[in-house]
Amino acid sequence: MFELVKAGGWLMLPIIACSVVALAIVIERFWSLQPKRVLPPDLLPQIWKWSRENKLNDDRVREVQISSPLGRVLAAGLQNRTRDRDIMRDSIEEVGRHVAHELERFLNTLGTIAAISPLLGLLGTVVGMIEVFATITNVGVGDPAELAGGISQALITTAAGLVVAIPSLMFARYFRGQVDTLVVGMEQEAIKLVEVMNHSRTRPQPVKKPAVSQPPRGPKQ
């Protein structure tokens, strides 16, 4: 492996650096974008339970907020649960945009690596061919060993750039699809929260019938 890196020349260093960064991003995104971490399935039922039991206070809302990305979105609505429905939705949408942006963290970097790695390999190919032609100019084409260095550099850097770029592009597309799915899930949970909170707030209270007073009875005859 070291011999291949050495034969590829100095352009192998940025390609290797791109591969290390890409691998770190892939591992981190796999960990951070787990559905159970982003969309805890028991969070909304727990909120409903607290609401029915009149335990949904500020401490509970803060607990929801720090629990997960979905918790941040729902907490924005819960902080305005006593206000109009439109205000709840606006606050949820504002926080939701920030959460969606955070879910896409590092994906632009991964896409950039997928784009520049083949270009680095192509640059290595150009540099290797320049060395080949320089060798031909100096010693001619009679000694294949003199030409092998430039040709190997051209092939190795191209192959290395593609090896880094192809998985990076695949994972970048996969994670963007995963983020879109998670964002849709958060929207659905937020809509349920708004509907339930608005219904519970506007639900008419039962009216107690006034007690009918009985007329006084006269003395028995």
- Please count the CA atoms within 13 angstroms of the CA of 221 that sit on its side-chain side: 0
Rounded CA separation 164/11 (Å) = 13
- C-alpha R_g of the chain: 32
CB 162 within 8 A of CB 45: no
pLDDT (mean) for 145-163: 75
Q: What is the mean pLDDT of the chain?
A: 82
Structure tokens at 57: 């206070």
pLDDT (mean) for 134-149: 62
Domain-by-domain residue ranges, the chain?
A: 2-201
pLDDT in tens, 177-216: 999 999 999 999 998 888 877 766 555 444 444 444 455 5
Rounded CA separation 173/151 (Å) = 33
pLDDT (mean) for 4-11: 70
pLDDT in tens, 31-90: 999 999 999 989 988 888 888 888 888 888 899 999 899 999 999 988 888 888 888 888
DSSP class of residue 220 equals P
Rounded CA separation 219/68 (Å) = 74
- Pick the more confident residue, 164 or 80: 164
Structure tokens at 127: 């540099």
- For residue 35, the model assigns a pLDDT of 92
Least confident of 3-7, 54-58, 83-87, 159-163: 3-7
Q: pLDDT confidence of 118, banded at 50, 70, 90?
A: very high
Angle CA(69)–CA(178)–CA(70) in degrees, nearest 5? 15
- For residue 3, the model assigns a pLDDT of 66
- Please count the CA atoms within 13 angstroms of the CA of 36 that sit on its side-chain side: 1
3-class SS of residue 207: coil
* pLDDT over 90, % of the chain: 43
- For residue 206, the model assigns a pLDDT of 47
* pLDDT over 70, % of the chain: 76
Residue that is written with structure tokens 């032609």 in the block = 133
